[in-house]
Chain A
């Protein structure tokens, strides 16, 4: 025993400061020119295992990630966030915005060789609105008044009211092969573990708890993908995953801020990996319970905003890998309004506003008070997210400087949501929202969405915002939508139901031998089927069917 311990100790001392250099022999240089070639495999790691590969039934991101490689939608987002055709070649929207007619691409085939037609969309649509289908994505499709299939390559839907997010709802969620599933209960078939799609990759083997192996669809309608195999390894522990990356067993994973800025800044990483960075469609915020008397006064919320240095939070918590947020949209996307009121860090202004609102430190204990009540509140956040916990700590430290006492309470996620958010038993929270690519945020800001389990849990109420939200989702005209969402951001920035804190960056790392990666606002994986490895750099034996 003793010897082993000594051995370990000695090894750690000897090797502790050395980084693995064996890999460099494989000459994975970034700038070796080479023709795109077919072959090789991309190995990626995931903390979670997909549960089911039918998009409309899946709830977790791992399932959607894999299903996204197997199924395509009618439309998709282009790299500049405009909507372009995918399985639909084009579409027409009637002048009143009620009827959308999709014209489908011809000659697209399911993996089993049967042609994809409008009947498959109709079948998927009927399945998703079926009472018996356990799906969470029904809402958008229930707005449809009538769906028709005028011919094999045309699909037409009529809405009750114009509904702007409708167009993009015809993505990959609703397309299922009718010839395989008609008359069957999709929750009872093995389709979810052995799906037939028409996307760039098809599932070859799925070993529970270990890996999923996908192989390229050689008849993919946009051309055969260059990389032959996509291997999805399940590694539940993030630290282990990073070690596997260092050992050369993984080609792609998302890095944490500290891994991105510190642990991968080595010669080994620079030589063997390419790092990417782009904003995630998400933001983190400090939300106030507006029903709570302390936060009823707008000036109080503004004072808190002045006392928080967003830049500092980004620098300290995210190691600079993010941007301060000014509203609920990602900077540099079309709904984002760059000219809203911002609150530059200014403690004096914060103090002035609080004094105006009647808060003074009368008893000299360093904490402001009014009517005998000290200014103290609790920020709740969820366990397991160290970024949010660190953010809360920084805010706590800043607010005490202007005489506000803050407590932080960290709760397990389910408890947090069920017992505190849903029951409105909170004063302030630090949480985040993922933002859909469509700017509609009706559910978060509309005053009609404040019931239990609904998402305007801060109880924000503003008739002007309500009508702008309504306007924004009822027109397809981008300029008009833009106007509505710009105005909403101005109002939100003035009234501050949330203090928008930051938009974090996604920081994936990919092995250097992969070429053809074009970073864009929607990430890097949108053109996975174009990624390739020059023949001389290929690492895994090519696979002939």
Chain B
């Protein structure tokens, strides 16, 4: 059973009023939000300030849950964003999306049980050999349950990124091609990948490597608990742990920037095309993110000096290339676009650059007169409710329909299509946008998709009258 079917049946999710929004993606974001609301970090700060009495063992249990929880839910929310937008360009597996969420939740249950029932307080870093050498503070079973839970979460994410890599390779011919390397070396026939695909490819590369490293050290630690005679160099284990941790939490930033690449064009009515500078920037950040992790080991003077120097330089430089090309792209997209600032567009813009506070952009075309371009996800022509589009797609879509009835346009359609920006162009340029969008999609050869949900949901046109 597909995730969408399951959730629709279980929770009576109204598909028709939220076209194009996969309920599983909503589940990813909702789980992340719930975990954030636990406010463990606030409790820890209150304890440090001695405003909240907390014994050391409970403090370190909370610290462990908080650390692993924040890393995990940031990764989950980022993965939801990436799947939602990357799915416009490649055929992602719905089953893997569900499997990752199920494994994540199962792992969370194991981790919470290990921490709050078993008393495990070895921090999210689970630095070898601490899990097995607590001095009797927690049982080995608790340590095993924690490491096992983290391994389950990691396996889910690894499946997720492997599937994304598979889908990208199937569509673009390789990860290098999806990073735009053929374009960089001057091939004129090379296909220019979309910013979302480039960012996703970067994340697939770094996170696959990072998760393999993390799963390996977790497996070794688990064996060490079961067979203490099985040992590993603690410095090597620490390197592997921080390579995984550094890469994984960095990747969340690069997954969420996809939302900027996809939603800001909807506000401005301009397509975000990757330039050569953009391609260089993402390739540079890919490499730098992979080699920056030794800055977490600056207190380990036994580390090779060259590794610490490279790590320190790379840690400062890693975010710069993507920051520069994204901030520059955002500025050129927004400049004189007529964008109206609201909470959603402002936060998207501020997340990558600095600017004034926007809503949907009003577009005037000879064919359609004045229409409103909303976010590409909701994409309702004729109404300006971008914030609601982002936060409450159900309300947005219903409003689109109501507006269509009032205005006489009588048409509402989702733009969350496999052809992405192409459809948006079709959308805003003609009042008969659904038909035009379908035509453009077919011309792009992507009117059909192995993902039935996306195809049926995103290309459905609703006659409101």
Q: Are A and B bound to each other?
A: no
Which residues from chain A sit less than 8 Å from chain B, CB to CB? none
